[in-house]
Amino acid sequence: MGYYSTLTAEAEKGTTVEPFIVTEYQTLPDGSKPDCWFGWEGVSVDERGNIEEPASDYYQKWYNDDLFVQLLASRMKSGRITLHFEGEDYSRWGYVVEPDAVVEFADCVQDLVNYSGSKGKDLFRRLLDEASEHYQRKSEELQQKKLSLDEDQNAA
C-alpha cells in the first residue's frame, strides 16, 4: 500500500527466520530489486520472527508490502508470522506468512479473528486451508484446460 498505516506483527512461538535488515538495495528471492523499499528500509527481522521498525512516526507509508512478505517468506525456516496493517481511513489488511507461502487477508477475516479469539483463529486457519485447497484445485483445472487447448491447437 502507498498511504499511511500502522503495522503490527505477531510471530507464533517456535517461528525461526534467517535474520535480515531491509536496505535500499534489498533484492527479492528471484534476484530482482523493487523500485523502492520506502517504509521498509531499516526494518529488521530477528531469528524468532520479531519485526522491529526503526524509530518513526505512529503512521508510516509501507510501499511494496506484498514484496516484503515475499522476502520474509523466503527467509523463514519454520512457523507463522501474521502482519496486520490499519490505514488512516481504518481500512485493514494483512498477510499470513509461512516458509515460502503468503496468504493475504482483508477486513472480514480479521474481524472474525478479533471477535472470536482462539476459536476465530482456528476457523481462520481452517478457512485458509480450504482456500488453499480450492486454489490448488482451480490451478489444476486451469492447467488441464490449457493442456486441452494446446492439444486442440496442435491437432488443427
| 24 alpha carbon, distance to own chain's centre | 20
Contacts of 24-32 with CB under 8 Å at 24 or more apart are 26/71, 28/67, 28/70, 28/71, 28/74, 29/70, 29/71, 29/74
| pLDDT for the residue numbered 15 | 94
pTM over 0.85: no
Phi and psi, residue 18, nearest 5°: -75, 115
Give, as one character, the DSSP assignment of residue 19: -
The burial class, CB within 10 Å (0-12 / 13-18 / 19+), for 11 is buried
The dihedrals phi and psi of 147, each to the nearest 5 degrees, come to -60, -40
Confidence (pLDDT) at 75: 94
Beta strands in 36-144 (DSSP E): 44-45, 51-52, 60-61, 76-78, 81-87, 92-98, 101-106
Residues ≥6 apart with Cβ < 8 Å to 8 = 83, 84
Q: pLDDT tens per residue, the chain (156 residues)?
A: 456 788 889 999 999 999 999 988 888 888 888 887 877 888 889 999 999 887 665 557 777 888 899 999 999 999 999 998 888 777 778 888 989 888 887 754 445 555 445 655 666 666 667 766 766 777 777 778 778 877 878 887
